[in-house]
């Protein structure tokens, strides 16, 4: 039976592929898509979620607009990677997929309330919306099977020496979600930097021969160009779809149960995720952390999804 899923995202090039993978794979029952500010401002990320569905022919999945700002600081969108509209590269079509009248928190609450089974919440941006759900609707938390979040790192950062972008954008939201007691999986830079978008990968996407493949190829070309400019990586990492792939096929990644905390106050370390892989702190384990990726298994899932769409 397919796993019921909500995707909370900030599209973003890699978020688009996460949406496509979730919509196309028969192991996922995609119940809702919600937007959050992160890679771009909320007007862009909301529009881009609708465009991702329009391009791929995804209909019948409600899309709702979410938080425009992090809990405790001003938003600084990742324009240097994703462009001014958060989806730089291809010409963006006018979306034909409508926006739901509810906001993200209400849609998430409704989907959880109405589901006859626990729902996996896949979050590929800052955790702002999920923190708002925790704060405003604690009565529905029992309906969340787990939160699978792309963010953080067991080591290096990508927006500061220690902090990954999604964590750095809204670290307070991470704390709220961790404190809620909901089962939590972190998919950080340490594993996503194993999903490199090589020329061969781009060719596989383009070879799908459909609108999704052509649009996806343009997204990946732009994404790799900005990663090359700003991080010296000509083959950029496709972070976000790993979260979806792990729900579809847990064997796509190895994981460990461990202690995870987030730094809220450090001058140089704010937003750093502190993952205690050696159990040095002896604190209770509160997270599942992804470690190693089966790279070919992952790209095969991506390729199959792109081919299955319009």
Active site residues: 239
**What is the rounded CA–CA span in Å between residue 108 and residue 111?**
5
Whether 264 and 172 have beta carbons less than 8 Å apart is answered as yes
CA distances from residue 233 to 138, 158, 188 in whole angstroms, order as listed: 42, 12, 17
């Amino acid at each position: 039976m397919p796993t019921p899923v909500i995707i909370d995202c900030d599209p973003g090039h890699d978020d688009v592929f996460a949406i496509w993978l979730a919509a196309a794979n028969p192991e996922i029952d995609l119940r809702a898509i919600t937007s959050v500010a992160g890679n771009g401002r909320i007007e862009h990320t909301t529009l881009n979620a609708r465009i991702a569905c329009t391009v791929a022919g995804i209909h019948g999945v409600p899309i709702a607009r979410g938080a425009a700002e992090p809990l405790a600081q001003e938003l600084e969108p990742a324009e240097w990677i994703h462009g001014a509209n958060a989806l730089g590269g291809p010409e963006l079509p006018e979306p034909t997929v409508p926006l739901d009248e509810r906001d993200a928190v209400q849609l998430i609450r409704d989907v959880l309330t109405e589901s006859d089974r626990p729902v996996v919440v896949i979050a590929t941006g800052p955790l702002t919306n999920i923190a708002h759900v925790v704060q405003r609707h604690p009565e529905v938390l029992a309906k969340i099977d787990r939160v699978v979040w792309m963010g953080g790192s067991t080591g290096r950062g990508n927006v500061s020496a220690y902090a990954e972008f999604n964590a750095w954008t809204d670290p307070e939201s991470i704390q709220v979600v961790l404190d809620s007691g909901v089962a939590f999986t972190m998919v950080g830079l340490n594993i996503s930097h194993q999903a490199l978008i090589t020329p061969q990968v781009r060719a596989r996407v383009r070879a799908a021969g459909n609108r999704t493949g052509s649009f996806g190829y343009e997204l990946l070309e732009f994404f790799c160009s900005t990663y090359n400019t700003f991080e010296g990586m000509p083959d950029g990492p496709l972070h976000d779809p790993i979260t979806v792939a792990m729900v579809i096929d847990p064997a796509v990644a190895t994981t460990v149960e461990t202690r995870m905390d987030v730094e809220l106050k450090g001058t140089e370390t704010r937003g750093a995720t502190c993952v205690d892989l050696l159990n040095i702190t002896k604190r209770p384990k509160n997270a599942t952390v992804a470690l190693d990726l089966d790279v070919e298994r992952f790209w095969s899932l991506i390729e199959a999804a792109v081919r299955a769409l319009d």
